[in-house]
Amino acid sequence: MLTREEAKKIIDKVLSYAKADETAVSLSGGRTGNIRYARNSVSTSGESDNMSLAITAVYGKRSGTATINEFDDASLEKTVRRAEEIARLAPENPEYMPMLGPQKYLDTNTYAESTAKIDPEYRAKAAFDSIDPCRQKNLTAAGYLEDSTGFSAIGNSKGLFGYNRSTGVEFSITVRTADGLGSGYAARDVNDTSKLSTKAATEVAMQKALASSSARALEPGKYTVILEPTASVELLQNMMGSMDARNADEGRSFLSKKGGGTRLGEKLFDERVNIITDPMNAELPLSPFGGGGGRFGGGGSDGRPQEKVAWIENGVVKNMYYSRYWADKKGVKAIPSPGGIIMAGGTQSLADLIKSTDKGILVTRLWYIRAVDPQTLLYTGLTRDGTFYIENGQIKFPVKNFRFNESPVIMLNNLEALGKPVRAGGHLIPPMKIRDFTFTSLSDAV
């Protein structure tokens, strides 16, 4: 783990050796650790350290990258020369864009000391807090905790420099009944591990496992559903990942318009749908640079600052994301692809949403989601780990899992109500009530 000053010193040294037209340096490293358990016992656990430096040299429109994990002067210089050699031999990239100059980055807060201090004992205790309550109730726990602590620094020969350090913990737990007829799930993700209780999350999964036992079969068809954030997050994430402007302009996106052009500015969703990204959000802080991705923040970055962006406002498509090349060609701002998405919601709790439902199905989790048709963003997948029938504002009984075939675009038009957003899978998502959600078959899976 390098400080800002230490990282800058190495990057400056690399740049002092550079002879190419342009040179960029990316330095990142850190530690990740994990513990995995199943059958109420730890199955695997490990820890891994890594630090590496990537140097990209550019001549004209030819670029070359070389990487190293040794940091003495001779190694650094050798790697600069190697990147320059590769660049000279590389094919021209007609879409190459000159590197960015100095950028102003937001001061986001993605680091927590509590997470950086995690050690094997901490992970063992976190697993114990999850396994022990299950053992006591004759339930079976399978869970996974992964923590990462690292930094990412970028710099180039045009004076750009950025540094960010971040921590993160992801935890998920599946609890099954001894007879295999009930299964419950919960997941949490935090930057600061002092906000995580593996025990509390496990208790939610335990409750769902017990309540989901001996599910009844309902006919597949169109149902009002309440999607918990762990259920809807992947569909929303997939939709946001499909908002690439170039694909839309080229006629091969759900945002392409019949007759040519795009659907930017069109109202495609219910007017209550508002989706933004905001690296400064206190509940979901993000790296200030990079187009998302990379456990330590800023992976694969071209140095573009992450800023607050409205993607969907009152149901209207407000922005698409661009490569720098395509934005330049189109003469628009090169908005990078979204990181953690924030969907606005209301004040109602999940319990409130259930209470206001005459007939419906509560879905804990959707699983094995795959694109069926990119034209309509039709996805298929299945419910899993806690699916319940609601009648007159109450959960009546568990139901067998369904396969769905549904598009998030259709789903966000059939919006009935939104609850209070919570963090799920690196995003902030409200529980949502949707009418006419399409279930196409039943599954015997528990």
- Within residues 369-428, the interface with another protein by CB under 8 A covers 369-378, 380-382, 384, 401, 403, 405, 407, 409-410
Which region among 5-13, 196-204, 296-304, 351-359 touches another protein (by CB under 8 A)?
A: 296-304
Task: Look at the alpha carbons of 355, 356, 361, 367 in this order and tell me if their dihedral is positive or negative.
Answer: negative
Q: How many residues bind another protein (CB under 8 A)?
A: 103
Residue 323, token pair as written in the block: 């490569």
Which region among 17-25, 49-57, 305-313, 415-423 touches another protein (by CB under 8 A)?
A: 49-57
Q: Single out the residue of 197, 256, 281, 356 in contact with another protein (rule: CB under 8 A).
A: 256
Q: Single out the residue of 4, 13, 36, 318 in contact with another protein (rule: CB under 8 A).
A: 36
Task: Look at the alpha carbons of 7, 291, 80, 52 in this order and tell me if their dihedral is positive or negative.
Answer: positive
Judged by CB under 8 A, the chain residues 5 through 34 that form the site for another protein are 28, 30, 32, 34
Across-strand partners of 150? 30, 166
Residue 381, token pair as written in the block: 């997948």
Which region among 311-319, 350-358, 363-371, 387-395 touches another protein (by CB under 8 A)?
A: 363-371
Q: Any idea which residue has 């692809």 for tokens?
A: 337
Judged by CB under 8 A, the chain residues 61 through 100 that form the site for another protein are 64-69, 82, 85-86, 89-95
Q: What is the distance between the alpha carbons of residues 379 and 404, in angstroms, rounded to a whole number?
A: 8
Q: What is the gyration radius of the CA atoms in the chain, in angstroms? A: 24
The C-alpha angle 75, 80, 85, rounded to 5 degrees, equals 120
Q: What is the distance between the alpha carbons of residues 75 and 29, in angstroms, rounded to a whole number?
A: 17
Q: Shortest gap between Cβ of 129 and another protein (angstroms)?
A: 11
Q: What is the distance between the alpha carbons of residues 239 and 378, in angstroms, rounded to a whole number?
A: 10
Judged by CB under 8 A, the chain residues 186 through 245 that form the site for another protein are none
Which is closer to another protein, CB of 59 or CB of 356? 59
Which is closer to another protein, CB of 269 or CB of 348? 269
Across-strand partners of 29? 51, 151
* Cβ contact 405:370 at 8 Å: no
Q: Shortest gap between Cβ of 255 and another protein (angstroms)?
A: 10
Q: What is the distance between the alpha carbons of residues 189 and 206, in angstroms, rounded to a whole number?
A: 19
Judged by CB under 8 A, the chain residues 151 through 170 that form the site for another protein are none
x/- letters, 105..144, toward another protein (CB under 8 A): ---------------xx-xx--xx--x--------x-xxx
Q: Single out the residue of 21, 181, 267, 299 in contact with another protein (rule: CB under 8 A).
A: 299
Q: Any idea which residue has 């490990």 for tokens?
A: 46
